[in-house]
């Protein structure tokens, strides 16, 4: 683990500075006592309404993660704290079951996860995502999964059941074609080559799969688009989506710091390209504008994306990558009392 490094928390009343070299960051796990597990999304530019996030913070440590500022609401930092202070929701499966039992629930699509990776390493022992999928399977509720982790292969049995009785789609997040570049920006994620193998195994088993080139970082990985799409298609992916890099709040400081430290020879060019597609800024928080850029350079990226997705036969849909139409949802029948 690297040394402690967090941008100032805008919600904290005090700031701390190390007088000497900060200590190594150690993994800490905290339990969350939330009374709800379904997160409602009201953003008009996202293709799903409901998500489940069994974990807050993520040991994958991706420098660009847009969820980093949410850790500041807990009194933590958006930098090393986000990577090492992980909050788990041990009652997630029970809370999901309670939500599904409410008369108001109509069986809409549930996405794992809208915030941090539901298959980050702690899932191997806590098994919260698997237990939530078991609940979805019991109620035949449609599911979407977005992950960078091969751990999703462990739950192939549940995914196949969901595919048979409801609907499921798994997207592998693969923003880089080169393992070395990927390791510099997302240091504790499975290698790119391993993620393509995960796609291959899920697709071969019959699971509808897609590739998510997210985030798209101008000047760093836009040239990777053809190789990523070709490898994903060869692995059996049917769908492809891309989302422009977002740098809200403290994410900007974390990302630029990591970029300059890990790839100093490319940092200035990447920052300039980001500004090219953001009208001179590093971020645009407006709905729809936040996920795509503007200008000549962005137009070139979009044309390249459209050319290769069409050439390779990916689904033509740009939004609504998850099916959320007729639901298969049904509540399990209660066993009658015999006495």
Which residues in the chain belong to E strands, given as ranges?
A: 28-31, 38-40, 50-52, 55-56, 85-88, 110-112, 143-147, 168-173, 209-216, 239-244
Q: What strands lie across the sheet with 55-56, from one edge to the other?
A: 28-31, 85-88, 55-56
Q: Apex CA 271: angle with CA 266 and CA 276, to 5°?
A: 125
Condensed to tens digits (0 to 9), the pLDDT of residues 97-137 reads: 999 999 999 999 999 988 899 999 999 999 999 999 999 99
pLDDT confidence of residue 321:
57
pLDDT confidence of residue 319:
43
Q: Which domains does the chain have, with CATH numbers?
A: 28-312 (3.20.20.70)
> Distance between CA 33 and CA 92 in Å, rounded?
10
Positive or negative: CA dihedral 99, 124, 191, 67: positive
> Distance between CA 339 and CA 337 in Å, rounded?
6
Helix or strand or coil: residue 249?
coil
Tokens of 190: 């499975």
Strand partners of residue 125: none
Tokens of 240: 């492809």
* pTM for the full predicted model: 0.91
Contact 266, 181 (CB under 8 A): no
> Distance between CA 187 and CA 332 in Å, rounded?
43
pLDDT confidence of residue 320:
43
> Distance between CA 214 and CA 216 in Å, rounded?
5
pLDDT confidence of residue 8:
85
Got the DSSP string for 255-312?
HHHHHHHH-HHHHHHHHHHHHHHTTTSS---STTGGGS--SHHHHHHHHHHHHHHHHH
Tokens of 106: 């109509």
Contact 229, 175 (CB under 8 A): no
pLDDT confidence of residue 333:
78
Tokens of 339: 């006495």
Please list, residue by residue across 120-157, b when 16 or more beta carbons sit within 10 angstroms of its beta carbon and e when fewer do. bbbbeebbbbbbbbbbbbebbbbbbbbbbbbbbebbee
Residue 107, phi then psi, degrees to nearest 5? 80, 35
Q: Which residue has the tokens 């998500």?
A: 51
pLDDT confidence of residue 267:
97
> Distance between CA 211 and CA 171 in Å, rounded?
5
> Distance between CA 48 and CA 52 in Å, rounded?
12
Q: What is the biggest distance separating any 2 CA atoms in the chain, rounded to whole angstroms?
A: 76
**Number of residues that make up the chain:** 339
Helix or strand or coil: residue 86?
strand
Contact 64, 55 (CB under 8 A): no
**Mean pLDDT per 10-residue section of the chain, whose length is 339 residues:** 78 72 86 93 88 97 96 95 97 97 95 94 98 98 97 98 96 95 94 96 98 97 97 97 95 96 96 97 93 95 97 71 69 65
């Amino acid at each position: 683990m690297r040394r402690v490094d967090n941008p100032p928390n805008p919600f904290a009343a005090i700031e701390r500075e190390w007088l000497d070299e900060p200590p190594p960051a150690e993994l800490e796990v905290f339990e969350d006592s939330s009374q709800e597990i379904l997160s409602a999304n009201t953003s008009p530019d996202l293709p799903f309404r409901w998500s489940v996030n069994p974990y807050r913070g993520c040991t994958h440590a991706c420098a660009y993660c847009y969820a980093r500022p949410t850790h500041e609401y807990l009194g933590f930092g958006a930098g090393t704290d986000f990577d090492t202070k992980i909050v788990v929701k041990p009652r997630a499966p029970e809370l999901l079951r309670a939500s599904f039992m409410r008369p108001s629930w109509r069986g809409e699509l549930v996405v794992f996860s809208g915030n941090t990776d539901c298959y980050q390493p702690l899932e191997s022992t806590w098994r919260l995502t698997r237990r939530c999928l078991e609940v979805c399977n019991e109620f035949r509720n449609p599911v979407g999964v977005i992950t960078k982790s091969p751990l999703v292969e462990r739950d192939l049995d549940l995914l196949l059941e969901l595919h048979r009785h409801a609907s499921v789609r798994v997207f592998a997040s693969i923003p880089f074609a080169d393992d070395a570049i990927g390791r510099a920006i997302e240091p504790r994620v499975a290698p790119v080559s391993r993620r393509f193998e995960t796609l291959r195994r899920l697709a071969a088993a019959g699971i509808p799969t897609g590739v998510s080139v997210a985030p798209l970082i101008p000047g760093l990985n836009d040239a990777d688009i053809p190789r990523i799409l070709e490898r994903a298609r060869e692995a059996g992916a049917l769908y492809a989506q891309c989302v422009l890099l977002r740098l809200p709040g403290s994410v900007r400081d974390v990302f630029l710091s990591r970029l300059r430290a890990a790839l100093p020879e490319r940092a200035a060019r990447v920052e300039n390209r980001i500004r090219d597609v953001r009208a001179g800024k590093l971020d645009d928080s407006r709905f729809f504008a936040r996920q795509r850029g503007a200008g000549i350079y962005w137009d070139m990226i979009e044309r390249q994306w459209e050319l290769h997705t069409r050439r390779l036969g990916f689904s033509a849909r740009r939004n609504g990558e998850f099916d959320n139409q007729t639901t298969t949802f049904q509540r399990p029948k209660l066993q009658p009392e015999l006495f």
